[in-house]
Amino acid sequence: MVKRARVVVVGAGFAGLAATKRLARAGALVTLVDRNPYSTFQPLLYQVATAGMGLSDVSYPIRTFAAKWPNVRTRRATLTRVLADERRVEFEDGTGLDYDYLVLATGVTTNWLGIEGAEANALPIYSLHDAAALRDRLGQYLEDTALGRRKSTHVVVVGAGATGVEMAGTLAELRRRTLPLTHPEIGPDRTSVTLVERFEYVLAPYKPRLRDATAAALRRRGVKLRLGSTVAAVEEDAVLLSDGTRLPSDLTVWALGVTAPEQVGSWGLEQGKGGRITLTDALNVPGHPEIFVAGDLSGQPEAQPQLAQPAIQMGDHAGRQIAAAIQGRPPQRFSYRDPGIMATVGKGEAVLQLPNGLTVRGFPAWLVWIFIHVSYLLGGRNRASVLLNFFWRYAGPRRSATSVSR
């Protein structure tokens, strides 16, 4: 490249890392900014929340990632302002960076949907901090229940997408297989796992046969399904449904919806549904072609599922378009290549749906699910550790399924 453009990438999730990698290889001068010093592998957060993996298993230092390329620098900062006309971003600490091109990949946050008491009384599972808080709360409640300081530890999971299903299935397996050994003082009537979903089925994007198979697998594990149920309010010890039903809940897990953070509205960029930034079909901002948005914050004309693969492909596309623009070539339309979707229920049970209509369920899909997730982790140590923890949780002694605490 003749010109070494200054590119700022804000957000070290799937999209931000993909954009950084592409730009680094193109020779641009890249600064990768994130409020945390690590990148989080979100698809396995439920494993952290249920003490099957440690925090370091699903996180990777950003500086270690950036060290692969001499033209990449990192910065730990929280974005507060985008001065598009000045081509500058400013941070919470009062500093800022000038740029020739900008990639916004900051992600989104939990959407409480305006439901009374949800934010105050439910725990989300979107960040590493969320997963750690949920794990600590669950562990403390079980200990208190075993010692008689609490009457029960009933868990209600709200939202039957992939995260909700995986969370509910894992909790149910722990309740039936592990707790009788590790917490023998707790009778089976003092714990339960309930999954609430407003649709009449789980895993809405999947084919009916996979939805039905998943629901059956959850029920076999002891999960109580409340399908076709809308949450009206969340209390400290219960989830209230719109039909008046009151579900006892010592711990409510919120796996329902995301939205753009409030601060995005102060950036001066047009927003659409869910607060996501309005874009052209090339993923850049109308009127500011030097600003690209990738990942969950992207509000491009064709809505994409808020999953890892769309984020990776959008980040890579943004990097390619910036490299092309530096060389004077016009931007190209983003086209998503759907590799399929998958979700797991627990040991030996997963569902896989490919774009050509092929579906796989059961043990083969579970092995594919493990392989895919391990392959996308950053760093050999993380891959080895996650594989070991998977093996120990699902093939080791039942009493050790929650042996990882940090």
Q: Residue 129: phi, psi to the nearest 5?
A: -65, -40
Do residues 318 and 294 touch, judged by C-beta distance below 8 A? yes
pLDDT mean for each 10 residues of the chain (406 residues): 80 97 95 96 94 92 96 96 96 96 94 95 95 96 96 97 96 94 94 97 95 97 97 97 96 91 89 90 94 91 80 96 92 93 94 94 94 89 88 78 60
In the structure encoding, which two tokens stand for residue 189, read together? 């009537």
Are residue 372 and residue 246 in the same domain, yes or no?
yes
**CA separation for the pair 234, 252 (Å, rounded):** 8
In the structure encoding, which two tokens stand for residue 63, read together? 């500086």
DSSP state of 330: P
Which of 303, 326, 349 is where one domain is finished?
A: 326
Do residues 354 and 28 touch, judged by C-beta distance below 8 A? no
Which of 297, 326, 355 is where one domain is finished?
A: 326
Do residues 47 and 345 touch, judged by C-beta distance below 8 A? no
> β-strands 284-285, 288-293: how paired?
antiparallel
Are residue 266 and residue 247 in the same domain, yes or no?
no
C-alpha closest to that of 300 among 328, 324, 271, 329 = 271
Are residue 233 and residue 125 in the same domain, yes or no?
yes
In the structure encoding, which two tokens stand for residue 347, read together? 């040991």
**Which CATH number goes with the domain that contains 165?**
3.50.50.100
In a domain, 219, yes or no: yes
In a domain, 113, yes or no: no
**CA separation for the pair 109, 203 (Å, rounded):** 21
HEC string of 234-267 equals EECCEEEECCCCEEECCEEEECCCEECCHHHHHH
Are residue 211 and residue 228 in the same domain, yes or no?
yes
Are residue 151 and residue 246 in the same domain, yes or no?
yes
Please tell me whether residue 169 adopts helix, strand or coil conformation: helix
Are residue 222 and residue 349 in the same domain, yes or no?
yes
Report, in angstroms and rounded to the nearest whole number, the Rg of the chain calculated over CA atoms: 22
Are residue 345 and residue 396 in the same domain, yes or no?
yes
Residue 326, CA distances (Å) to 217, 281, 290, 318, 323 in order: 52, 19, 10, 12, 5
Range of the domain at 32: 6-108+260-326
**pTM given for the model:** 0.92
**CA separation for the pair 61, 40 (Å, rounded):** 9
Q: In the prediction, which pLDDT does 112 show?
A: 93
Q: In the prediction, which pLDDT does 400 show?
A: 67
Q: In the prediction, which pLDDT does 404 show?
A: 54
Are residue 216 and residue 289 in the same domain, yes or no?
no
In a domain, 39, yes or no: yes
Are residue 123 and residue 252 in the same domain, yes or no?
yes
Are residue 148 and residue 271 in the same domain, yes or no?
no
Report the run of H or E that residue 363 belongs to, with start and end: helix 363-375
In a domain, 317, yes or no: yes
Q: In the prediction, which pLDDT does 307 show?
A: 85
Total count of domains within the chain: 2
> β-strands 6-10, 29-34: how paired?
parallel
In a domain, 363, yes or no: yes
Q: Residue 225: phi, psi to the nearest 5?
A: -95, 130
Q: In the prediction, which pLDDT does 305 show?
A: 75
Instruction: Classify residue 13 as exposed, middle or buried by CB count within 10 Å of its CB (0-12, 13-18, 19+).
Output: buried
Which of 285, 303, 326 is where one domain is finished?
A: 326
Q: In the prediction, which pLDDT does 2 show?
A: 46
Q: In the prediction, which pLDDT does 1 show?
A: 42
In a domain, 335, yes or no: no
In sequence order, the 6+-apart residues with CB closer than 8 A to the CB of 116 are 232, 233, 234
Are residue 163 and residue 122 in the same domain, yes or no?
yes
In a domain, 360, yes or no: yes
**Which CATH number goes with the domain that contains 273?**
3.50.50.60
Are residue 239 and residue 371 in the same domain, yes or no?
yes
In a domain, 1, yes or no: no
